[in-house]
């Protein structure tokens, strides 16, 4: 086996996953991270006695992390538990829906509260599972840029079942078949899991409910940042070298092959470069302009987020770990996000409270609120000017729907806006998932996990195949590592 010197740019979960796999395969791996800490968006923050996960708040497919633990021989297991209650949904008319992790129980709840046909709900979940079983191995677990990967029985099965996959429908086309529009809204919400618009995104995104209900939603015992800590410790165990506060300024090339990375004016030579940063940053800052994939970079970007981190000196029994306060006009909200490019005045609000399970995340009798609103990505790159108006709308909606004066309980406060997200993580305009999936063929339009023009350059993370979110980022690290082994490692 060739022992490669591999430089990885960025230490998000995808970069960490790739580093672990490559190091476990015997290669010399160095990660260059511009921040003083690993994890990218999956970081944490403490204000007074309140701890907050700054980014992603839901874990699915934790076995991908267990796989890395086993592969590396790391002696400590990753500790997490499956959530019995997934989400509390709130509507303006006072309707409240509690989604348990049992599909049958959730169907009963929708039947009782929204008069939905239970069998129709169960069939929807069966369809979601069918989507997953047919497409996961084809589109998620392997590179889709290699023709040989499609020469197998799984692809043949996918082709045979293509007419059943609703390839020419949007999510909303399928979900509007429910009797109650509130049910449609609940299932349309899953488009936001990759920053997309359910009225444009492909029906195949209805695969997501199976991930959450069928395969389970989880929480690490110490909160989401435990994922970063665990992966970082595994990487150290494997001998990965970390260079923090090291911003990569350029990917050096020689005869259309990577030669190393330039950081702090110093060239760090290597055989392979793996990028775990946003594609826009790679092609606009680190590579010569002739290599830009112009059509891909012009595609519509995913939504961003505005987050209020509130230390709340009160406990709310009506809230769970995941809570959604829905907009009354969901379609118009997405119109504002992707067409008008301004936040909607009646935004859907997501409230995540990890202290419901992780008791040390807030003082006794208090809660740590992660209050997130979907907003457009910041295409102008300018400072955010709508914070005051957005905060007013968020506070007013929470007060109205929960019957409370929430400002009397806010003890500490911090915010994160799209400009901050771009500054801290390099995501173009603060878009959370790179390009959106507002295209029926979005699965085929994501950037490959390797460069077809430059030898030795590979890509992982949310802006490339197979997409954004923790499990897909972990899979990108797995896919890229396998390709590196095939192309260079033998």
Q: Which residue has the tokens 């030795």?
A: 456
pLDDT of residue 144: 60
Exposed, middle or buried by CB within 10 Å (0-12, 13-18, 19+), for 171? buried
- Beta-carbon contacts of 312 under 8 Å, excluding residues fewer than 6 positions away, are 362, 366, 367, 368, 369, 406, 409, 410, 411
| Residues 114, 119, 121: CA angle, nearest 5 degrees | 55
- Residue 152 neighbours by CB under 8 Å, 6+ apart: none
Rounded CA separation 402/345 (Å)? 18
pLDDT at 158: 55
Q: For residue range 85-144, list pLDDT tens digits in order.
A: 999 999 999 999 999 999 999 999 999 999 999 999 999 999 999 888 887 766 666 656
Instruction: Return the pLDDT at 292.
Output: 87
466: preceding bond cis by omega (within 30 degrees): yes
Q: Would you place residue 59 in the very low, low, confident or very high pLDDT band (cuts 50, 70, 90)?
A: very high
- β-bridge pairing 349-352 and 367-375: antiparallel
**pLDDT the model gives residue 189:** 97
What's the CA gap between 160 and 283, in Å, rounded? 38
pLDDT at residue 156 in the model: 53
Question: Which residues, in sequence order, are CB contacts of 250 under 8 Å at separation 6+?
Answer: 261, 262, 285, 286
Closest CA to 442 of 413, 463, 470, 471: 463
Mean pLDDT, rounded, of the chain: 92
246-302 pLDDT, tens digit each: 999 999 999 999 999 999 999 999 999 999 999 999 999 999 999 988 888 888 889
Q: Give CA–CA dist 235/68, Å, rounded.
A: 10
- With a CB cutoff of 8 Å and minimum separation 6, the contacts of 297 are 279, 280, 283
What is the predicted pLDDT for the residue at 442?
Answer: 63
Tokens of residue 299, six digits:
């595609």
pLDDT of residue 489: 61
End-to-end Cα separation, the chain, in angstroms: 5
pLDDT at 435: 83
Query: Where do the CATH 3.50.50.60 domains begin and end in the chain?
Result: 5-45+56-81+222-299+428-489
**Run of H or E residues at 80:** strand 80-82
Tell me which H or E stretch contains 236.
helix 225-238
- Whether 473 shows a pLDDT value over 70: the answer reads yes
| Position 154 pLDDT exceeds 70 | no
Tokens for 169, please give them: 């429908």
| Farthest CA pair distance, the chain | 66
Measured CA to CA, the distance from residue 302 to residue 280 in angstroms comes to 13
Q: How would you class 233 by CB atoms within 10 Å of its CB: exposed for 0-12, middle for 13-18, buried for 19 or more?
A: middle
Instruction: Inform me whether the pLDDT recorded for 1 exceeds 90.
Output: no
Please tell me the pTM assigned to this model: 0.94
CB 278 within 8 Å of CB 40: no
Domain 5-45+56-81+222-299+428-489 classification at class level:
alpha beta
How far is Cα 195 from Cα 198, in angstroms, rounded to an integer? Answer: 10
| pLDDT > 80? residue 166 | no
What distance in Å separates the CA atoms of residue 238 and residue 255, rounded to the nearest whole number? 32
Q: How far apart are alpha carbons 274 and 362 in whole angstroms?
A: 38
Q: What is the CA radius of gyration of the chain?
A: 22
Q: Write the burial class of residue 75 (CB in 10 Å: 0-12 exposed, 13-18 middle, 19+ buried).
A: exposed
Which pLDDT score is estimated for 438? 81
């Amino acid at each position: 086996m060739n022992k490669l010197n591999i430089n990885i740019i960025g230490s998000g979960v995808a970069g960490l996953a790739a580093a672990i796999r490559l190091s476990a395969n015997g290669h010399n791996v160095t990660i260059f991270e511009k921040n003083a800490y690993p994890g990218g968006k999956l970081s944490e923050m403490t204000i007074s006695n309140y701890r907050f996960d700054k980014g992603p708040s839901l874990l699915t497919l934790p076995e991908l992390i267990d796989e890395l633990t086993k592969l590396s021989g790391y002696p400590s297991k990753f500790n997490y538990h499956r959530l019995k209650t997934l989400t509390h949904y709130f509507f303006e008319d006072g309707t409240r829906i509690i989604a348990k992790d049992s599909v049958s129980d959730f169907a009963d709840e929708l039947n009782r509260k929204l008069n939905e046909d239970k069998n129709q709900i169960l069939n929807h979940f069966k369809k979601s599972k069918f989507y997953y079983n047919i497409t996961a191995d084809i589109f998620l677990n392997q590179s889709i840029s290699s023709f040989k990967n499609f020469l197998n029985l799984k692809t043949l099965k996918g082709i045979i079942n293509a007419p059943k996959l609703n390839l020419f429908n949007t999510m909303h086309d399928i979900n509007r078949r429910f009797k109650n529009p509130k049910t449609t809204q609940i299932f349309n919400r899953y488009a936001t899991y990759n920053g997309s618009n359910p009225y444009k995104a492909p029906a195949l995104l209805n695969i997501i409910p199976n991930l959450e209900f069928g395969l389970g939603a989880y929480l690490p015992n110490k909160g989401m940042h435990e994922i970063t800590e665990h992966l970082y410790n595994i990487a150290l165990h494997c001998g990965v070298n970390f260079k923090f506060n090291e911003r990569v300024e350029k990917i050096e090339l020689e005869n259309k092959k990577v030669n190393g990375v330039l950081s702090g004016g110093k060239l760090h030579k290597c055989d392979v470069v793996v990028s775990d940063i946003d594609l826009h940053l790679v092609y606009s800052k680190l590579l010569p302009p002739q290599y830009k994939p112009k059509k891909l970079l012009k595609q519509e970007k995913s939504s961003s987020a505005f987050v209020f981190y509130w230390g709340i000196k009160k406990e709310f029994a009506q809230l769970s770990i995941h809570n959604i306060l829905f907009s009354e006009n969901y379609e118009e909200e997405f119109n504002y996000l992707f067409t008008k490019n301004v936040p909607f005045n009646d935004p859907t609000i997501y409230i995540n409270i990890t202290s419901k399970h992780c008791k040390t995340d807030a003082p006794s009798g208090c809660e740590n609120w992660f209050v997130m609103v979907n907003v457009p990505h910041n295409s102008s790159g300018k400072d955010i000017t709508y914070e005051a108006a957005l905060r007013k709308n968020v506070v007013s909606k929470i007060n109205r729907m929960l019957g409370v004066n929430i400002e009397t309980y806010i003890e500490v406060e911090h915010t994160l806006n799209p400009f901050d997200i771009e500054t801290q993580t390099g995501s173009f305009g603060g878009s959370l998932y790179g390009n959106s999936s507002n295209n029926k063929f979005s699965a085929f339009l994501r950037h490959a996990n390797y460069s077809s023009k430059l030898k030795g350059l590979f890509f992982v993370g949310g802006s490339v195949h197979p997409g954004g979110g923790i499990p897909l980022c972990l899979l990108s690290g797995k896919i890229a590592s396998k390709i590196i082994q095939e192309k260079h490692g033998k």
